[in-house]
Structure formats: structure tokens, C-alpha cells
Amino acid sequence: MLLALPALLGLVVATFILSRVIPGDAAATLAGDAATPAQIADIRARYGLDRPILEQAIIHVRQVLTGDLGNSIFTGRPVAEEIAQRLPATLELTFAALLLSTLLGVPLGLIAALDHNGPADHLVRLVSVAGLAIASFWLAIMLQMVFSMELDWLPLRGRIDVALGLPPRVTGFLLIDCLLAGDGRRLSSAMLHMLLPALTLSLPGLATIARFTRSGVLETLQKDFVLYARAAGYGRFRLAAIYVLRNAITVTVTQIGLLFGGLISGAVVVEAVFDWPGLGTYAVQAILAADYKALLAVTLVVGVVYAIVNVVVDVLQAVIDPRVSDGTR
């Protein structure tokens, strides 16, 4: 975990410099449409935007180290507060997508490997290629057209029915808050609202997981112990599910960890299409408003989440495969 700290510090500095060299005048945005040059200059001075960029970078790093992410240039509110409001929505969606990817991707990969070069294998390959090739934006709109507009099965946008409103906020994770409130109607509404965005977000991950699982299983099937297990009379599926999959899955688990970062960045598009009020839409709004404070904070938070997930993945790997922790692998 300690090794992640220099990486995060680098992230803070790099994103700060990037955010300040891209075009856009935060002071002009903050001043509003009808601002005079004097008003803009006043704001620039008030927020220290007129200082040399190196000085601004040092101030920013110092603020971040003390846990202060500053105020949003656009809304004037503390960025940490705004992110705390948005982060649970993104994490909830990302976890749901990851869960779908894993629950569907691992069995698909296993089936494809067991039917190597057979019809199931070809079908899974098709799904995998499609999952990686189809643009999330297009898929999201197609799902909206089919499931919301044509079939009228699922809601089109948002996290919950507008007429129901949100349950009392405890964790910010809507499903958990609905459960804590014991509110079945809101819970069902929240689950239905999550289906299409989670499905859209899960598809590339599903494809990746299926492919890694397939190749891991294929490799493991060549091992001697599988031959011995077969000779000992284990059934094909029992052998695959208990012995082969456990040996093959460590690579997939690593991949799932890496995917998490990809899913959070993929959420930018998916959240925008489905009006999911998470970090993705927050980042888009920040970019369009040249709100560099918000943008920097989002990058940092995503970086921290990513680092934490990597640590969790390392631990999980050791649990699944003891050879990782005792150094024999």
C-alpha cells in the first residue's frame, strides 16, 4: 500500500499540470456570461489563478497533503463534499457492473474452454469480440431504445423514480440505504434503474474476463494433475469447477482488479447517457466548465480507489492460491 503513495503524489502533480495547460479560463467561467474583464481579474486574484503555475502546483499539493481538496471553481462548494455525494453512485454502479461481468464472464470462459473450438467456444468468442468492439455510447442508447422505449420494461435514466425520491441518506449507496430504511418500493425502483447502466458498463469487462478465464482454463487443462484427476475418475464438470477453475482463476482475478479502473473511467460515458449522478458526470461537468479543482479531485479519488482495489486483489490472489503468499509461485 505504501508503494502507492509516490504514485498518487505523481498523479496529483501530473494532473495539476495537465489541467492548467489545457485551454479554458476558470475565472471567466466563474465570473459568468455577463462578466467584465475587471470582474474576471478580481476572481483570478481571489483564487490565486494569477500566480505562476509552479507556485499554484505547490499550494495545491500542500493542500491535498492536508486533506483539503479545495472549493469547486464552478459551484463554490467544497469539492470533497461534492465528491462524497457522488462517489457512492459510481462505486455502486461499478460494483454492479463488475459483479455482472464476473458472474457471466467466468462461466462463459469456462464453457468456452471445455468446448475448445466447438460451437460454444465460437459463440463466446463472438460475444467477447462484440463486447470489446461495441462502443458503450451506442450500446447504451440501443438498450434504452429497446428496453425503455419499445418494450417499456425498464426506466430510461436516473437512479430512482422521481416521484418516489431518495431514501434518507445513510451511506449514499442507494441500495443499502433503501435496505436500511426497509423500503421495498424504493429498493425495487433503484434496482431496476441500475440494470441498463450496469449491463452497458459490464460488457467490455465480461468479454475480458471470459477470454482470460478461457485461456487460463485451457492452460490448466494441459497440466499433469488434471490427467491424474481424470484417471482417478472425476467427472468432467466437477473436475473443471473444483480443480481446474481454482488454478486458472488467479490470472482472471488480477484482470478483474485492473478492470475496476477501466470501469470507473468507462462510467464517464455510461453515466452521461443514463443520467447517473456519479463521478463520471461530475468529471464531464468539470471539464466543460474548466473546473480544474473538481477535475483534480476526481482524478485523485479514482487513483486512490484504484490503488485500494489493487491491494484487495493481491490479498484475494493469496487467498485463492496459497502459492502466491508462500512464494512458490
Partner 1 sequence: MHRAAFRSLFLAALVAVLPLAPRDAEAQQRPLVFGDTMPASLDPHALFDVPSQFVLLNLYDGLYRYQGNPPELLPWLATGHTVSADGLTWDFTLREGATFHDGSALDAEAVVYSFRRLLRMNRGPAGAFTPVLSPENVTATGPLGIRFVLSRPYAPFLSAIPLVAIVNPRLVEANIRDNDFGTAWLSANDAGSGAYRITPQSYQARVQLDLTRYREHFRGWSGNRAPIEEVRVRPVLETSTRILALMRGEIDVSDSYTPPDQVERVNRNARTRVARDESMRTFIIRMNNARAPFDNRDARLCFAHAFNYEGFNDVILRGQVVRNGGPNPNNLWGNPPDLQPYRFDLARAREYCDRARAAGAPLGREIEIHIQSELDQTVQAAQMFQADLRRLGINLRIVPNTWPGITGATARAETTPDMWIHWVSTYFVDPENWVGQMYDSQFHGTWKASSWYRNDGVDTLLRRARASTDRAERETLYQQAIRQVVTDSPDIWVYNTVNLRGLSRRVQGYQFSPVGSGGEIRLMWLEN
Q: Which residues are near partner 1 by CB under 8 A?
A: 22-40, 42-43, 71-72, 74-77, 82, 85-86, 141, 144-145, 148-149, 152, 155-158, 161-163, 165, 184-185, 187-189, 191-192, 272-275, 277, 281-282, 284-285, 287-290
Which DSSP symbol is given to 115?
Answer: T
CA 145 centroid distance within chain: 24
CB–CB of 196/144 below 8 Å?
yes
Query: How far apart are alpha carbons 44 and 46 in whole angstroms?
Result: 6
Residue with cell 493542500: 63
Closer Cβ to partner 1, 49 or 206, answer by number: 49
Orientation of helix 174-181 relative to helix 184-221, angle to 10°: 130
Least spacing, CB of residue 293 vs partner 1, in Å: 13
Output phi, psi for 161, to 5 deg: -55, 130
Q: Residue length, the chain?
A: 329
Least spacing, CB of residue 280 vs partner 1, in Å: 10
Least spacing, CB of residue 158 vs partner 1, in Å: 7
Residue 16 CB contacts under 8 Å (≥ 6 apart), including other chains: 56, 57, 60, 61, 292, 296
Closer Cβ to partner 1, 24 or 262, answer by number: 24
Least spacing, CB of residue 164 vs partner 1, in Å: 8
Which residues sit opposite 71 in a β-bridge? 78
CB–CB of 70/174 below 8 Å?
no
Output b/e per residue, 17-39; b: 16+ Cβ within 10 A.
eebbeeeeebbbbbbeeebeeee
Closer Cβ to partner 1, 212 or 274, answer by number: 274
Closer Cβ to partner 1, 136 or 220, answer by number: 136
Least spacing, CB of residue 68 vs partner 1, in Å: 14
Closer Cβ to partner 1, 244 or 286, answer by number: 286
Closer Cβ to partner 1, 245 or 295, answer by number: 295
Least spacing, CB of residue 27 vs partner 1, in Å: 8
